[in-house]
Copies of this chain bind each other. A is one copy, B any other.
Amino acid sequence: MEKMSEAKSNSDSNAGNAIVPGMPSSEEERPDEDLLLAAAYVYDAQYNRNIPFETSPQAVRLYYFYNHWAMQIATYFFILVDLSLALFEDPAAYPLPFLVTALVEVMCLVAFFSRLVHFSRVTPRNLFWKDTKNICVMVTIMLNLIDLIICGALSIAQIRTIRWTRVLRPIYLVNFAESRQIRRAFRSIRNTLPEILYVFLLFMFSVLAFSLMAMKLFGSRKLKTAEGEPYFENYLEGVFNLYVLVTTANSPDVMMPAYDYNRWYSIFFIAYIILNTYIFMSVFLAVVYNNYRKHLKNEIRKLAYMKRRKMVEAFNALKVKEGTEFVISEARWKHLVKLVAPDISNSHRELLLRVSNDAKTSYVGKEAFLRLADLLNIKVITMKARMHPLESWLPYLYKSALSCFIHKVVRHKGFVYAFDVIILVNAIFIALDDKSPLIANAEWVFLTLYILEILLKLYTYDPRTFFAKNQFWNWFDTFIIVAALIATSVNAGLKSASQYNSQQVLDIVFILRVLRLIRIIDSVQRFRVIVNTLINILPTMLTFCGLILVIYYVFAVVGMEIFSGKIRFFPANSTDPLAHSCGAAVLKDSVFARSKYCRNNFNDIASSFIVLVELTVVNQWHDILYVMGITSLKPSVSFSTWILTLNMLILLITQYL
How far, in Å, is A650 (CB) from chain B's closest CB?
13
Q: Cβ of A618 and Cβ of B253 under 8 Å apart?
A: no
**Considering only CB atoms, which chain B residue lies closest to A510 in the complex?**
B216
Chain B residues, Cβ within 8 Å of A421: none
CA distance A600 to B263 in the complex (A): 11
Apart from A205-B520, A212-B517, A251-B619: 16 A-B pairs, beta carbons within 8 A:
A198-B526, A202-B530, A212-B427, A226-B594, A226-B596, A251-B618, A252-B595, A252-B597, A252-B617, A253-B620, A256-B596, A256-B600, A270-B610, A283-B530, A283-B534, A619-B619
CA distance A278 to B616 in the complex (A): 11
Q: Cβ of A617 and Cβ of B248 under 8 Å apart?
A: yes
- Flag whether A277 is at the interface (Cβ < 8 A): yes
How far, in Å, is A134 (CB) from chain B's closest CB?
35
CA distance A620 to B215 in the complex (A): 25
CA distance A205 to B531 in the complex (A): 13
Q: 4 closest Cβ contacts across the A-B interface?
A: A251-B619, A216-B510, A198-B526, A213-B514
- Flag whether A442 is at the interface (Cβ < 8 A): no
**Considering only CB atoms, which chain B residue lies closest to A606 in the complex?**
B263
Chain B residues, Cβ within 8 Å of A266: 610
**Considering only CB atoms, which chain B residue lies closest to A257 in the complex?**
B596
The answer, among B201, B594, B606, for a CB contact under 8 Å with A527, is B201
- Best-buried of A198, A427, A514 by chain B (most CB within 10 Å): A514
CA distance A545 to B193 in the complex (A): 31
- A:200-233 near B, CB below 8 Å: 201-202, 205, 209, 212-213, 215-217, 226
**Considering only CB atoms, which chain B residue lies closest to A434 in the complex?**
B216
CA distance A483 to B472 in the complex (A): 69
Chain B residues, Cβ within 8 Å of A213: 510-511, 514
Contact with B along A530-560 (1 / 0, CB 8 A): 1100100000010000000000000000000
Q: Cβ of B430 and Cβ of A518 under 8 Å apart?
A: no
Chain B residues, Cβ within 8 Å of A252: 595, 597, 600, 614, 617, 619-620, 624
**Considering only CB atoms, which chain B residue lies closest to A623 in the complex?**
B252
Supposing A235-B431, A431-B215, A614-B252 touch, asked if A209 and B263 sit within 8 A by C-beta, the answer is: no
Describe A's contact surface by its main secondary structure.
Answer: helix
**Considering only CB atoms, which chain B residue lies closest to A248 in the complex?**
B619
Chain B residues, Cβ within 8 Å of A530: 198-199, 202, 283
- Flag whether A521 is at the interface (Cβ < 8 A): yes
How far, in Å, is A564 (CB) from chain B's closest CB?
16
**Can you name 23 A-B residue pairings with CB atoms under 8 Å?**
A198-B527, A201-B527, A202-B521, A205-B520, A205-B521, A215-B431, A216-B430, A216-B434, A249-B619, A251-B617, A252-B597, A252-B614, A252-B617, A253-B620, A255-B614, A257-B596, A259-B599, A260-B598, A263-B610, A270-B613, A273-B613, A282-B657, A619-B619
CA distance A5 to B251 in the complex (A): 53
- A:227-252 near B, CB below 8 Å: 235, 248-252
- Flag whether A569 is at the interface (Cβ < 8 A): yes
How far, in Å, is A104 (CB) from chain B's closest CB?
24
Q: Cβ of A618 and Cβ of B212 under 8 Å apart?
A: no
CA distance A595 to B217 in the complex (A): 22
- Flag whether A391 is at the interface (Cβ < 8 A): no
Contact with B along A480-512 (1 / 0, CB 8 A): 000000000000000000000000000100110
